[in-house]
């Protein structure tokens, strides 16, 4: 990932599915095409859900990692 | 874009949450969603009525569901439907035959109800949908 781009953080920790996806989609209005969103989530289904969502909506799941119990998911809008 | 048709024949909270979750996920992916509330499902659309209880065999888990909703981990099912409607093309239909059966008028229904329709209309919608499910 390019570290110099502004990263918009969406904190969806502790929300159960489909809360993280909804929180991500709501944020889209504020982020320009090419912008980066960092989604924080604890629901274990989130990375796969975001991948499926991105493939169907023309966005890009850049990478994700698990830091302690939290998924950090990077999406290019 | 794909579309989803859901038939909701019960007002049990667990089923309503399944319907609301699928609706929100589908709307997030840009799908259009059509929900048909029929028989006891229609009761969930009556203004001021708080659907209570979960499907019989699973009453032991009712408090878990209520706790998840009260703590905000899971939104109230109706709030989730409202959020999904803001995201995209989500239509809520009330079954006309059930309205008649239960003597319920259109103005008794929640504001998020789009229309009162019959079985043939819902079947036509379901026929054109990519995914049709009963909850």
Q: Which residue has the higher pLDDT, B36 or B55?
A: B36
- Give the H or E element holding residue A27: helix A19-27
**Between A14, A22, A56, which is nearest B24 by CB?**
A22
The DSSP-derived string for chain B is --EEEEEE----HHHHHHHHHHHHHHHHTT-EEEEEE-GGGGGGGBTT-------GGGGGGHHHHHHHHHHTSS--HHHHHHHHHHHS-EEEEEEHHHHHHTT--GGGB-TT--EEE-HHHHHHHHHH-SEEEE-
Task: Tell me what the mean pLDDT of segment B25-41 comes to.
Answer: 97
Q: What is the CATH number of the domain that holds A56?
A: 3.30.110.40
Using an 8 Å CB-CB cutoff, list chain B residues near A26.
87
**Domain ranges within chain B, ordered by starting residue:** 3-134
In sequence order, what are the residues at sequence separation of 6 or more whose Cβ sits closer than 8 angstroms to the Cβ of residue B10?
A: B16, B39, B40, B41, B55, B135
B21 CA to chain A: closest CA distance, Å? 6
Task: Tell me what the mean pLDDT of segment A24-41 comes to.
Answer: 94
The range of the structural domain enclosing residue A33 comes to 7-65
In sequence order, what are the residues at sequence separation of 6 or more whose Cβ sits closer than 8 angstroms to the Cβ of residue B66?
A: none
Using an 8 Å CB-CB cutoff, list chain A residues near B87.
22, 25-26
> Is A16 among the domain residues?
yes
> Is A43 among the domain residues?
yes
pLDDT at A3 over 60: no
Q: Let me know the angle formed at the C-alpha of B128 by B18 and B82, rounded to the nearest 5 degrees.
A: 40
φ, ψ for residue B37, nearest 5 deg: -95, 115
Give the rounded percent of residues in chain B with a pLDDT score beyond 70: 100
pLDDT at A64 over 60: yes
**Between B2, B24, B72, which is nearest A18 by CB?**
B24
A17 in active site: yes
Query: Residue A6's pLDDT band (boundaries 50, 70, 90)?
Result: confident
Counts of helices then strands in chain A (DSSP H, E): 2, 4
Task: Tell me what the mean pLDDT of segment B2-23 comes to.
Answer: 97
Q: What would the pLDDT profile of B102-120 be if each residue is shown by its tens digit? A: 999 999 999 999 999 999 9
pLDDT at A51 over 60: yes
Task: Tell me what the mean pLDDT of segment A24-50 comes to.
Answer: 95
pLDDT at A1 over 60: no
Q: How many domains does chain A have?
A: 1
Cα A39 from Cα A64, distance rounded (Å): 9
Task: Tell me what the mean pLDDT of segment B27-50 comes to.
Answer: 96
> Is A37 among the domain residues?
yes
The verdict on domain B3-134 having CATH code 3.40.1260.10 is yes
ipTM: 0.83
Query: Residue B42's pLDDT band (boundaries 50, 70, 90)?
Result: very high
- Measuring CA to CA, how many Å separate B95 from each of B33, B37, B72, B126? 16, 6, 31, 14
pLDDT at B67 over 60: yes
How high is the pLDDT of residue A5? 74
């Amino acid at each position: 990932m390019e570290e110099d781009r502004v990263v918009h953080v969406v904190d969806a920790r502790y929300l159960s599915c489909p809360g993280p996806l909804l929180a991500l989609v709501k944020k889209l209005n504020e982020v320009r095409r090419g912008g980066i969103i960092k989604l924080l989530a604890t629901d274990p289904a989130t990375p796969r859900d975001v991948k499926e969502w991105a493939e169907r909506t023309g966005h890009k799941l850049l990478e994700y990692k698990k830091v302690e119990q939290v998924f950090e998911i990077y999406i290019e809008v | 874009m794909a579309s989803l048709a859901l038939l909701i024949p019960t007002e049990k909270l667990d089923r309503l949450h399944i319907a609301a979750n699928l609706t929100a996920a589908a709307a997030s992916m840009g799908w259009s969603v059509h929900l048909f509330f029929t028989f006891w499902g229609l009761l969930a659309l009556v203004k001021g009525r708080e659907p209570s209880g979960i499907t019989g065999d699973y009453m032991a888990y009712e408090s878990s569901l209520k706790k998840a909703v009260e703590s905000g981990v899971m939104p109230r099912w109706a709030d989730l439907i409202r959020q999904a409607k803001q995201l995209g093309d989500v239509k809520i239909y009330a079954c006309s035959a059930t309205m008649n059966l239960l003597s319920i008028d259109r103005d008794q229904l929640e504001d998020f109800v789009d229309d009162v329709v019959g079985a043939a209309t819902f079947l036509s919608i379901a026929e054109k949908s990519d995914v049709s499910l009963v909850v």
